[in-house]
Amino acid sequence: MAGLDIIGSFEDSFKLVTLKAYLAEFISSLLFVFAGVGSAIAFGKLTENAALDASGLVAVSIAANHSGGHVNPAVTFGLVVGGKVTIITGVFYWIAQLLGSTVACFLLKFVTGGLAIPIHRHNVAAGVGTAQGVVMEIIITFALVYTVYATAIDSNNGTLGTIAPLAIGLIVGANILAAGPFSGGSMNPARSFGPALAVGDFSGHWVYWVGPLVGGGLAGVIYSNAFIESKPEPTESERVPLISSA
């Protein structure tokens, strides 16, 4: 995309196919956060100290599978800066993702009889500074968005795209296991936003926007410029002649 194409237009952003994409992002984000946060609530009900229990971390990492959509403002941002999604469309993706996460968390509060929404994954651990938390979130989100590009976006990788959901799910799970005890392993501003809003606690919340967006943006810029080859414009002799309908 170049020039105004990077910004996009409201007309393109409100086509039927695009509206369906927003709806898919809302539903996917809702289900993703419902499963992830719900697993943490369930584990907390069954154990005394789920926040610090290693098996609880494993349970959350298993639940944090990745759907076919973005389901993550950091992924969307990485695709925007890489020229794969326009800015206007990206904004509406964000709205759908944040709404999905918020609805999921309030639904969880309702169906669990008012059990507390755990936000331990959205705060840096004791002894870990916010700067270290931001750097950790940058690294793991970079890994996530880089994997999205390498498997789901880069058409030069042939059939590698068929394993994209598995590869993305594995990197998400591995990142949670690696970063969970330190930064919480969010990688996803929407995943952090819903619980924070439901609990009314936004302390340190900026870490889970700055880190993932920087990491996702870096991955989008680096992969799209270093590894995705732009196809040259066809010469006049290579162009398919237009057939008149007259």
SS3 assignment for the chain:
CCCHHHHCCHHHHCCHHHHHHHHHHHHHHHHHHHHHHHHHHHHHHHCCCHHHCHHHHHHHHHHCCCCCCCCCHHHHHHHHHCCCCCHHHHHHHHHHHHHHHHHHHHHHHHHCCCCCCCCHHHCCCCCCCHHHHHHHHHHHHHHHHHHHHHHHHCHHHHHHHHHHHHHHHHHHHHHHHHHCCCCCCCCCHHHHHHHHHHHCCCCCCCHHHHHHHHHHHHHHHHHHHHCCCCCCCCCHHHCCCCCCCC
Q: Is the pLDDT of residue 10 over 70?
A: yes
Mean pLDDT throughout 42-51? 63
Give the tens place of pLDDT for each residue, 80-118.
Answer: 999 999 999 999 999 999 999 999 999 999 999 988 888
Q: What digits encode the pLDDT tens for the residues 167-200? A: 888 898 899 889 988 998 999 999 999 999 999 9
Task: Please indicate, yes or no, whether the overall pTM of this predicted structure exceeds 0.85.
Answer: no
pLDDT at 31 over 80: yes
Best-predicted range by mean pLDDT (23-32, 69-78, 82-91, 206-215): 206-215
Higher pLDDT, 220 or 67: 220
Domains and CATH numbers, the chain: 4-227 (1.20.1080.10)
pLDDT of 61 reads: 58
For the cut 60, the answer to whether the pLDDT of residue 62 exceeds it is no
